[in-house]
Amino acid sequence: MERPGRALRSGRHALKPGFLLSRRSLLSASLAMGCCLAAPAVSTAAQDRALDVRRGEFTPVTIAVAPFSGDPGPAGTLTSVIVNNFKRSTFLSPLDPKSFAGVTVDPDQTPDMSAWRALNAQYLVTGRSRRNGDGRLQTEFRLWDVATGQQAAGQQYVTDPNNVRRVAHIISDSIFTRITGEGGFFDTRVVFVDETGPAERRRKRLAIMDQDGANVRYLSRGDDLVVTPRFSPSSQDVTYMSFGATDPKVLLLNIETGQREVVGNFPGMTFAPRFSPDGQRIVMSLAQGAATNLYAMDVKSRTTTRLTDSGAIDTSPSYSPDGTQIVFESDRGGTQQLYVMPAGGGGAARRLSFGDGRYSTPVWSPKGDFIAFTKQKSGTFAIGVMRPDGSGERILTEGFHNEGPTWAPNGLYLMFFRDPGGSSGSKLYMIDVFGRNEFQVPTPSYASDPTWSPLLN
């Protein structure tokens, strides 16, 4: 049964009811032809994968998304959102709908696989979306393995019609996981800094949107300058820095309730803190005289522990996914490089980067297999990745000014911002971990400092 969305309010900062409706409240049942199953039909077992995306060398899986039947409005939205998600996924390659315009699909019947084999489709998605008598939207999909003619996955969702785009993202995640064996990323959101106005007087507001750029909502009014939001990897909490008439403040914002609280005033801070994997601690850098050192703070007690005391500039710390290590940038060796140290301090820092240029803004992948970074060399700014031991450095993209990488929760994609300079402004971009495809993420105006949410529950 659907659980109604709650009114999410906190003083004058109010969000729309049902803003973070849970997946469980959308789920009705798994679908198979002729019966309802007791457990989801989506399988993530390695042997069920059609594609191993971690190998690096792969051919994208060809998938056809037949137009959903039912009510034209929601059915059309579902089809277009799913196709658009797959286009940006790198690992799934949707067929052009024009190539199968003459093929008839009945969502209640097993498709004629010969027609889809002729189009070289490896998988086929069919579905329907229509309003029930109570006004709620009932949506169902089936994923078909064209080679075997068998249904590979199926699910049904019942929800408010306003959630149609989210249902499309959840369906996309189910299909992506079934084919690749990896976690999804479509049902996520991105908090970023929205920038408007002339270059010398930019108004910077905190904003949130779906990962594909839809459903933009503003989280601050622009009275104060905001920078460097950071999502918690375990909740819908965000830290960010706010510069007003007084010292810069670090604020903690709960996206679901809209509640804000001041973590503290930190005059020597230039980047907002990052969360530990369990969301119970934050790690930050504070300037004191000529040196900048790292500190950890317990979110509940506000107890602070100093982690470094090198006399150098140590900044941009990021936790490993198991919470035992911290990667950061430092000039302790004479140039701006990346280092790793124990998360509790009290251990020697190990240098990771040894290439030409200056390394900054390191962020550990949620999977733990890579560290993303910004690299500046000869006037260009590159976004790259390396393994946690410093090996396997790989540049994914470079240009005049690329900065601020943030990981999708499945560790397969990065989002960052690029500023071409001059009177223009920065825009957001997304790229896969292999650097195969890069896409601009649409935003209402200029945008910077993206931070990717965990997969919604």
End position of a domain, from candidates 148, 180, 212: 180
pLDDT at position 23, please? 62
Residue segments in the chain with a per-residue pLDDT below the cut of 50:
1-20, 34-47
d(CA 95, CA 84): 11
In a domain, 457, yes or no: no
Q: Which of 157, 180, 203 is the last residue of a domain?
A: 180
Handedness of CA 223, 447, 239, 257 (dihedral sign): positive
Query: Do 282 and 275 contact (CB within 8 A), yes or no?
Result: yes
Two tokens at 137?
């939207």
Is 268 within 8 Å of 288 (Cβ atoms)? Answer: yes
User: Domain range for residue 77?
Assistant: 8-180
Q: How many residues does the chain have?
A: 457
Looking at the domain assignment, is residue 437 inside a domain?
Answer: yes
Residue 172 shares a structural domain with residue 237: no
pLDDT confidence of residue 24: 59
Phi, psi (deg, nearest 5) at residue 164: -60, -40
CATH number at residue 63: 3.40.50.10070
> What pLDDT does 374 receive?
96
Q: What's the gap between Cα 197 and its chain centre?
A: 27
What does the alpha-carbon distance between residue 43 and residue 152 come to, in Å, rounded to a whole number?
8
**Considering 151, 180, 209, which residue would you say is the last residue of a domain?**
180
Give me the number of domains the chain comprises. 2
pTM of the model as a whole = 0.88
- Could you tell me the sign of the dihedral formed by the alpha carbons of 146, 152, 158, 162, in that order? negative
DSSP 333-358: TSS-EEEEEETTS-S--EE---SSSE
Find all residues with CB under 8 Å of 376, minimum gap 6, and list them.
357, 358, 360, 382
Has residue 1 been placed in a domain? no
* Same-domain check for residues 146 and 247: no
Burial of 406 (0-12, 13-18, 19+ CB in 10 A): buried
Q: Report pLDDT for 40.
A: 36
Closest CA to 343 of 373, 358, 364: 364
Alpha-carbon gap, residue 242 to 263, rounded angstroms = 11
Q: Which residues contact 49 (CB under 8 A, 6 or more apart)?
A: 179, 180, 181
**CATH code, domain with 200:** 2.120.10.30
